[in-house]
Structure 1
Amino acid sequence: MEEIKTGETSFFVCLFDKAPGRMVKVDGDLFKPALFETWGETVGKMHRVTKGFVLDSGRRDQWDQDDLLDFEVYLNRTRDAEIITKGIELIKEIKALPENLANFGLIHSDIHPGNFFYNEGEIHVFDFDDSKYHWYISDIAIPLYYSTWWKYRNESLEVRSGFGEVFLYHFLKGFQKEHQIEAEWITKIPLFLKLRDFELYTVFHKKWDMASINKEQQQLVEQIRERIIRDELMVMLPYKNIIEQLKSE
């Protein structure tokens, strides 16, 4: 690993062995329930192992130390005043959740389809730069969010939710092969879907000059903005029905 300094900050350059396999495209033949179950099983295994992991030195950040939650720094305080207010209230609501070793710990935090390769029935996860201490349920909400967003972001809430229900059911089916999660936490997924909308909205404002973005970028930003303003989630799912279906198997 090498540190490269630039201006007032620095970057770390790391060299890794390439993971086996290839990326799965959301419009490809592999993007189906069998993959979702393997994906969930992989995350379940990671959570099971993480709960017994003790870090020898150093520590990853807590979730609320992420600068993307500094909404007033990156967003327009006039145009986005309502979004800033909603974001602050959401953070307060999430902070009020119970926190213990069973539900909170070190997670990957960004396991979307672009951060793993699929090879001979196995998923190989990489890109751990966003790893942080967070509620474990966030590591389930993020795959649900991005799988839906990448594949159906231009579709209606009904279409997105139809896919999301299939995805989450099979993901949890795989997850529970390796690790158990309390049903109560599954019903908290909407909070973390909403949080990802705020984080993504902020990251676009952080990385892009809003005065010179192209039409596609503008559409991405406006879709998220409109969802936040309308209090619309990426998906609206019958979580209790999914839980009961999993219990009956």
Structure 2
Amino acid sequence: MTIVLSKEEIILKVINEKYPVKIHYVEGKTNEMWHCSGINSDYYARITNYKTYEEQFQEVKWTNYLFEHGVGVSPAIYSLEGNIIETGMFPEKKRIVLYKAAPGIHLPRSKWGPQIFKELGRQIGIMHRITKQYEQKESIDHLRDWYENEEYQFLKYIPEEEATIRELSQAIFAKVQALQKNNTTYGLLHADLWLENVLVDDQSKITMIDFQDCEKHYYLYDLVVPIYSALEFSFSGNGNIKDYGHAITESIFEGYLMENNIPSEMLEHFPLFLKLKEIFEYHLMHMYWDKDKLSEEQVRILNHYRIRLENNFSII
């Protein structure tokens, strides 16, 4: 008699065979992330072929270096064979990275105030400072520059009839790409620090998670993304959103400058990067939403973006 194991049972078996851990329960969080409960510790297994082995290896090697140098990230666990990336059959062959579970929670919207943003900025500043050291000694040649990624090929998915937004997207893209690149302005960064990728414990200690979309970009972008995320999703309605935007922006930069510098000429381009992020988000909707099956909510969101972009409004 053949025993058919569930996906969770297969993952549990593979993890326990390949890693120095004892897992007794597995629960899916996304198609790629699995919460693994152990006897003494919890872990998260990332099981995916989303990126190449070389891309994943350089990403995880970098984040482990960040952890070893005091940055708030989750370390990847080495397997029994000493590998930070393993493979297993699920039933198709996929790569595995096992992370120690990070402390903290996803903060409720009302808690994302200036003090938390100051600490987030400080942590990003540490990350960028340590990364500059890392890039002097280690290769990151398999990790892409931002403009190489499909998500930035704006004309591929934004419809031709949206001529104003297409023209704006190309202008913004060209302006950002033309900015000066050196080790003080440009390097490897998280690139997706929306607030769901930030955990905060009861001592306000911050851990940044999900580095899978890391890329080479302007350091300023890692500060723009959480600010944009807060204005889009986390403002709780207590007070004026314009004042809230100014307060969290001042706070995240204050924290960052405690640990790292930003050239003054780059600060002038903060509105440019905000607009790049806004077009990026609008483009993702066209990439992943089925235009023939849009819900009323999706139509509403698209129209709000169109109004902002076609009139070139600034969100701050």
Hey, what's the Cα distance between the residues in 2 that align with 1:176 and 1:57?
25
Q: How does 1:1-249 map to 2 (within 5 A)?
A: 14-26=97-109, 28=110, 30-54=111-135, 55-56=138-139, 58-78=141-161, 80-119=162-201, 120-152=203-235, 159-235=240-316
Q: Tell me, in whole angstroms, the C-alpha distance in 2 between the residues paired with 1:82 and 1:173.
A: 36
- 1:232 positional shift: 0.8
SS at match of 2:217: strand
Aligned CA-pair RMSD:
2.4
SS of 1:212 mapped into structure 2? coil
Aligned-residue offset at 1:134:
0.6
- Give the TM-score taking structure 1 as reference length: 0.83
Counterpart AA for 1:15: L
Name stretches of at least 5 consecutive residues in structure 2 with no aligned partner: 1-45, 51-92
Give the secondary-structure state (helix, strand or coil) at the position aligned to 2:188: strand
- 2:47 touches 2:96 (CA, 8 Å); kept in 1? yes
**Is the 2:152–2:280 Cα contact (8 Å) retained in structure 1?**
yes
Name the aligned partner's letter for residue 205 of structure 2: E
Alignment: residue pair count = 226
Q: Is the 8 A contact 1:152 1:159 kept in 2?
A: no
Question: In 2 relative to 1, CA 4–33 (structure 1 residues): closer, same or farther, beyond 3 Å?
Answer: closer
Measured after TM superposition, the shift of residue 159 of structure 1 is: 4.0
Q: 1:124 Cα deviation (Å)?
A: 0.3
The 3 A distance-change label for structure 1 pair 71 and 143 is same
Retained in 1: the 8 A contact 2:118–2:254? yes
Question: Which structure has greater helix proportion?
Answer: 1
User: 2:121–2:255: 8 Å Cα contact kept in structure 1?
Assistant: yes
C-alpha separation in 2, matches of 1:11 and 1:84: 38
Tell me the TM-score normalised to structure 2 length: 0.66
Q: Determine helix, strand or coil for the equivalent of 1:185.
A: helix
Q: Over residues 58-106 of structure 1, what are the superposed CA-to-partner deviations in whole Å (9 max), with x where a residue is unaligned?
A: 421101012122222212112x122112111111111121111111101
CA distance in 1, matches of 2:306, 2:140: 40
Report the Cα distance in structure 1 between the residues aligned to 2:279 and 2:191, rounded to whole angstroms: 15
- 1:225 Cα deviation after fit: 1.6
Question: 1:184 is aligned with what amino acid?
Answer: E
When residues 77 and 163 of structure 1 are mapped into structure 2, their CA distance, relative to the original with a 3 A threshold, is: same
Question: Aligned partners of 2:248 and 2:186: how far apart in 1?
Answer: 23
Tell me the percent identity.
24
CA distance in structure 2 between the partners assigned to 1:56 and 1:130 by the alignment? 17
Distance in 2, matches of 1:98 and 1:160, equals: 32
Cα distance in 1 for residues equivalent to 2:287 and 2:140? 31
Per-residue deviation at 1:199?
0.7
The equivalent residue for 2:35 is none
Q: String of CA shifts for 1:1-23, please: whole Å, max 9, x gaps.
A: 75559xxxx97554322211100
> 1:3 and 1:39, CA in 2 relative to 1: closer, same or farther beyond 3 A?
closer
Q: Per-residue displacement from partner, 1:33-52 (whole Å, max 9, x unpaired)?
A: 21011111111111111111
Q: Distance in 2 between matches of 1:88 and 1:233?
A: 17
Does the residue aligned with 2:307 lie in a helix, a strand or coil? helix
